[in-house]
């Protein structure tokens, strides 16, 4: 028997035992605050919920604009000195924008403990401080007078006072955590922002992510769940990272929860709309025949929640330690060059090693050599179904729990993949949201690398040794290792795939003069043109191989990214030539530095090592050729080429598609270019092409894309633009072109035929828009 009572105030003298939780809603809105009469009933402040346990522990769930009122209330009524535990599900603005106005943060008698996932790249502290830079706010984070402690979390559990707190990744466009708070017999689950992994059917939830979600909510006395949309609205907002009232109701029913608070109301919904959605959810719950009380969360609503069943931990893995994922290796199997390019961009952003292949056969051949930590497989490959690769790939690697993300459509999920029986197999619907795939990749890598499967405390990747102690001085000269150090280096190398075939004598010879060096992010480890002195083996971290003739970090300049267990610097040693590329540490990187003579000595005596190194070199050269062919700029104009345009379109069009903000595609055809070449020569013709390229560059924004699409054709993609902008942009191109023709003294008037196409919902590829723009030229 569970009971819920509305209270006017939190209990001043908490009862001993029983574990009741006091809950008050201070902000219930999502995305952006919307105060005013139309939202007076349910509230316009963004997410903030107060929770108190019987022992007086104060927990604050998210810090949207509702935190201002909560902070004032705590300063007036809570016992001093004040100790607050602030849980941030993720650092999107609507979940942290109230923090600069949270009164207790300004008081020296406050201890503020902040818990959150760090998100992409940045430390959680940096993300919180970003909105408090002087450009945006007059008080910096580090000027606050309270004692602030930051704790970065991942999936797992931790304890605060008498409360057991458990976390789980949600399906959102940024790394996001749900919180399950249990005190004795009472459990509350706070779940926002979250999108269904896959649409449920009458038979239930088929996706393992949804099943895992239901398990996380199981038996909760109160579920506070994202319910931003209706099913009808969600059809146009797939990939935005939020739930429907129908989904929230269904998961609460499946979990056997007692009460459901619909939360994170859409800013476009007035009180009448929220009430209508509340009625839909209540009818759905009633139709199920199960006992679930449903209500829409409203500001100032207070609840006293008491359960009757002892709470239990869902796992035995601590949430406090986050395993580092940078440098981990992701095998991508897709027959689509465009899809490969999009995923490559995504992985590079998180300093992950990108291992692309185009078919099942190649993937199985190379897998043992590249030793991936995760695989992303397209559902349809040139040599069959992607699902047919799942089990053979795991068997080939002897990794039955290798995380695999399948890119699928609804039909293939049901008929082919059978994901419900494969807990380490994920499915993401196509066309996929790039941020959502990025979030899934990080979630699966941290699950695969987290400790606790065997009760260990160390956060070490399976098969990866604990790194040796750092060198006393980064960049120090190599010195002969003593016996103990050499043995430790040998143990480290022996676990790496490239060196596993060596006997103990060979490994010890390899490290006899080894040293360890640590390089900070941005440090240039090797410079192009310098002599080859050492061979490097990456123990932890990530380095990037680039062509040093390029000055800006564009995708086309990256030749390779090298992570754990790989070597670099060996090519110059093998050819006895100066370094052919520059190597830069992407992050804090630890390397073993080997003497070239020792490396050559062992290499000449170990065919397996030589073959393994040859495979790695072949792989890198193939991948470098792929990157250079795809992204090398047109040598005449400096613009991206046709292939790069198609690849970049995939990435740039994703945002307008989600926002429904539209794109414009321009296709320019230089008029009479052949006649210009015949009359004035190719030097003048080339100068005309350069002028068109420069005019196009100047006419569009830096966020848009211009490319040389063919011999006399140019293309431009303008994002977040509609038909009303077309005339302005076309006129600007013509004006810039006329201006440049005069400035450069061209002996001919340069003209371009311009075709235009646009879409509020950009298609997955550029082909349709290019065809429409070409037809537009033909019709003029």
Query: For 520-545, what is each residue's pLDDT tens digit?
Result: 766 788 887 787 788 999 988 888 78
**Whether the predicted pLDDT of 309 surpasses 80:** no
Q: Could you say which of 306, 339, 371 is where a domain stops?
A: 306
Is position 45 within any domain?
A: yes
Burial label, 293 (beta-carbon count in 10 A; 0-12, 13-18, 19+): middle
Residue 316 in domain: no
Distance set, CA 354 to CA 123, 374, 425, 430, 724 (Å): 23, 10, 19, 20, 40
Decide if pLDDT at 18 tops 80.
Answer: no
Do 542 and 656 share a domain, yes or no?
no
**3-state class of 263 per DSSP?**
strand
**For residue 222, pLDDT beyond 50:** yes
Q: What are phi and psi of 597, to 5 degrees?
A: -60, -45
Buried b (16+ CB within 10 A) or exposed e, 203-233: eebbbbbbbebbebbebbbbbbbbbbbbeeb
CB 643 within 8 A of CB 632: no
Q: Are residues 616 and 646 both part of a single domain? A: no
Cα–Cα distances in Å, from 779 out to 711, 753, 776? 21, 11, 5
Q: How far apart are CA 72 and CA 69, in angstroms?
A: 5
- CATH, residue 616: 2.60.120.10
Alpha-carbon distance of 66 to 30, in angstroms, equals 11
pLDDT of residue 576: 81
pLDDT at site 422: 63
pTM over 0.85: no
Of 306, 340, 356, which closes a domain? Answer: 306
Query: Which pLDDT does position 153 carry in this prediction?
Result: 87
Burial classification of residue 158, based on how many CB atoms lie within 10 Å of its CB (0-12 exposed, 13-18 middle, 19 or more buried): middle
What's the whole-number average pLDDT of the chain? 83
* Dihedral of the alpha carbons of 235, 238, 242, 246, in degrees to the nearest 10: 30
State mean pLDDT over 149-167. 86
Tell whether 468 is covered by a domain.
Answer: no
Structural contact between residues 187 and 407, judged by C-beta atoms closer than 8 angstroms: no
Separation of alpha carbons 1 and 466, rounded Å: 49
Place of tokens 């931990």: 313
Mark whether 190 and 264 lie in a shared domain.
yes
**458: in domain:** no
For residue 87 the two structure tokens come to 């849980």
Interhelix angle 642-659/337-349, rounded to 10 degrees, is: 70
Q: 283: domain CATH number? A: 3.60.15.10
Is the previous residue joined to 81 through a cis bond, with omega within 30 degrees of 0? Answer: yes
Residue 115: which of 69, 156, 76, 75 has the closest Cα? Answer: 156
Neighbours of 629 (CB within 10 A): 13
Which of 431, 449, 467 lies at the terminal end of a domain, its last residue?
A: 449
Decide if 321 is inside a domain.
no
DSSP string, 323-375: ---TT-EEEEE-S-HHHHHHHHHHHHHTTPEEEEESSHHHHHHHHHHH--SEE
Is the pLDDT at 619 greater than 90, yes or no? no
CATH number, domain of 708, equals 3.30.70.270
The CA distances from residue 94 to 63, 180, 268, 275, 609, in Å, are 8, 21, 15, 22, 53
- How many CA atoms within 13 Å lie on the side-chain side of 506? 19
- Are 626 and 678 in a shared domain? no
The C-alpha atoms of residue 105 and residue 100 are separated, in whole angstroms, by 8
Domain span at 100: 3-9+20-306
Q: What is the CATH classification number for the domain harbouring 334?
A: 3.40.50.2300
Looking at the fold, whether 519 and 666 belong to one and the same domain comes out as no
User: Is the pLDDT score of 551 beyond 80?
Assistant: no
pLDDT score at 468: 33
CB atoms within 10 A of CB 108: 9
Whether residues 624 and 761 fall in one domain = no
Q: Are residues 67 and 213 in the same domain?
A: yes
Q: What pLDDT, in 10s, does the model give residues 699-756?
A: 888 678 899 998 899 999 998 888 888 888 899 999 989 988 888 889 988 999 999 9
Residues 289 and 219 in one domain: yes
Evaluate whether residue 315 is within a structural domain: no
* C-alpha span between 696 and 17 (Å, rounded): 72
- DSSP-based three-state secondary structure for 295: strand
- Report residue 639's pLDDT band, with 50, 70 and 90 as the boundaries: confident
Residues 200 and 346 in one domain: no
* pLDDT at residue 471, as a whole number: 32
Per-residue confidence (pLDDT) for residue 250, from 0 to 100: 95
Check whether residue 100 and residue 248 sit in a common domain: yes
- Distances from the Cα of 104 to the Cαs of 83, 108, 111, 149, in angstroms? 9, 8, 9, 14
Q: For the chain, what is the domain count?
A: 4
Let me know whether 653 and 615 are in one domain: no
Strands in 48-52's sheet, in edge-to-edge order, are 3-5, 302-306, 21-27, 48-52, 58-61, 82-88, 110-116, 147-152
pLDDT recorded at residue 26: 98
Do 53 and 121 lie in a common domain?
yes
Q: 455 in a domain, yes or no?
A: no
**Cα 662 to Cα 649: distance, rounded to the nearest angstrom:** 13
Higher pLDDT, 239 or 665: 665
516 belongs to a structural domain: yes
What is the C-alpha to C-alpha distance for residues 347 and 17, in angstroms, rounded to an integer?
49
């Amino acid at each position: 028997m569970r009971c819920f009572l509305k209270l006017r105030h939190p209990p001043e003298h908490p009862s001993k035992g029983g574990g009741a939780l006091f809950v008050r809603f201070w902000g219930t809105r999502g995305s952006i605050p919307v105060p005013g009469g139309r939202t007076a009933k349910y509230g316009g402040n963004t997410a903030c919920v107060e929770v108190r346990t019987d022992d007086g522990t104060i927990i604050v769930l998210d810090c949207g604009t509702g935190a201002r009122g909560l902070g004032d209330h705590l300063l007036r009524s809570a016992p001093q000195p004040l100790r607050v535990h602030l849980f941030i599900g993720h650092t999107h603005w609507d979940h942290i924008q109230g923090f600069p106005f949270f009164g207790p943060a300004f008081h020296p008698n406050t201890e503020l403990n902040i818990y959150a996932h760090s998100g992409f790249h940045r430390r959680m502290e940096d993300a919180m401080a970003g909105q408090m830079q002087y450009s945006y706010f007059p008080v910096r984070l580090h000027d606050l007078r309270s004692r602030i402690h930051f704790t970065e979390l991942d999936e797992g559990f931790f304890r605060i006072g008498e409360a057991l707190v458990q976390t789980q990744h949600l399906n959102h466009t940024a790394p996001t955590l749900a919180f399950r708070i249990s005190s004795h017999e009472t459990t509350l689950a706070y779940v926002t922002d979250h999108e269904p992994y896959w649409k449920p059917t009458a038979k239930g939830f088929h996706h393992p992510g949804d099943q895992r979600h239901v398990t996380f909510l199981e038996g909760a006395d109160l579920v506070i769940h994202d319910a931003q949309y209706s099913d009808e609205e969600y059809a146009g907002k797939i990939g935005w990272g939020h739930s429907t009232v129908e989904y929230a109701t269904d998961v609460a029913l499946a979990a056997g929860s007692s009460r459901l608070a619909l939360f994170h109301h859409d800013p476009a919904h007035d009180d009448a709309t929220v009430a209508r959605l509340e009625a839909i959810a209540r009818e759905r719950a009633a139709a199920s025949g199960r006992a679930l009380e449903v209500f829409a969360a409203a500001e100032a609503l207070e609840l006293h929640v008491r359960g009757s069943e002892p709470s239990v931990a869902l796992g035995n893995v601590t949430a406090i330690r986050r395993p580092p994922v940078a440098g981990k290796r992701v095998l991508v199997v897709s027959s689509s060059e465009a899809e490969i390019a999009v995923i490559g961009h995504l992985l590079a952003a998180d300093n992950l090693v990108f291992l692309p292949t185009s078919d099942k056969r190649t993937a199985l051949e190379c897998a043992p050599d590249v030793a991936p930590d995760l695989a992303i497989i397209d559902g349809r490959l040139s040599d069959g179904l992607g699902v047919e690769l799942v089990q053979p790939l795991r068997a080939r690697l002897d990794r039955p729990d290798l995380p695999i993300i399948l890119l699928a459509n609804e039909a293939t999920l049901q008929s082919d993949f059978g994901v419900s029986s494969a807990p380490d197999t994920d499915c993401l619907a196509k066309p996929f949201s790039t941020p959502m795939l990025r979030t899934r990749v990080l979630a699966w890598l941290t699950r695969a690398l987290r400790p606790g499967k065997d009760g260990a405390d160390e956060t070490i990747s399976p098969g990866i040794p604990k790194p040796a102690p750092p060198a006393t001085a980064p960049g120090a000269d190599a010195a002969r290792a003593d016996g103990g150090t050499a043995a430790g280096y040998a143990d480290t190398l022996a676990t790496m795939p490239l060196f596993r075939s060596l006997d103990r004598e060979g490994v010890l010879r390899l490290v006899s003069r080894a040293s360890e060096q640590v390089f900070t992010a941005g440090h240039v480890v090797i410079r192009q043109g310098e002599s080859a002195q050492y061979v490097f083996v990456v123990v932890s971290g990530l380095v990037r191989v680039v062509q040093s003739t390029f000055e800006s970090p564009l995708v086309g300049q990256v030749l390779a990214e090298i992570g754990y267990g790989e070597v670099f610097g060996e090519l110059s040693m093998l050819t006895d030539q100066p370094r052919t590329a520059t190597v830069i540490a992407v992050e804090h990187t630890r390397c073993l530095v080997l003497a070239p003579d020792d490396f050559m000595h062992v290499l000449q005596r170990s065919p397996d090592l030589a073959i393994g190194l040859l495979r790695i070199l072949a792989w890198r050269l193939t991948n470098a050729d792929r990157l250079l062919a795809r992204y090398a700029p047109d040598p005449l104009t400096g613009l991206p080429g046709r292939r790069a345009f198609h690849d970049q379109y995939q990435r740039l069009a994703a945002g307008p598609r989600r926002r429904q903000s539209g794109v414009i595609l321009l296709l320019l055809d230089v008029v009479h270019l052949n006649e210009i070449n015949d009359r004035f020569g190719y030097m003048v013709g080339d100068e005309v092409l350069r002028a068109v390229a420069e005019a196009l560059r100047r006419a569009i924004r830096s966020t848009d894309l211009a490319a040389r699409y063919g011999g006399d054709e140019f293309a431009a993609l303008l994002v977040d633009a509609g038909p009303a902008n077309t005339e302005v942009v076309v006129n600007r191109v013509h004006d810039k072109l006329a201006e440049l023709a005069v400035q450069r003294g061209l002996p001919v008037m340069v003209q371009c035929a311009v075709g235009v196409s646009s879409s509020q919902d950009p298609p997955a590829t550029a082909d349709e828009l290019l065809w429409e723009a070409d037809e537009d030229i033909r019709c003029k």
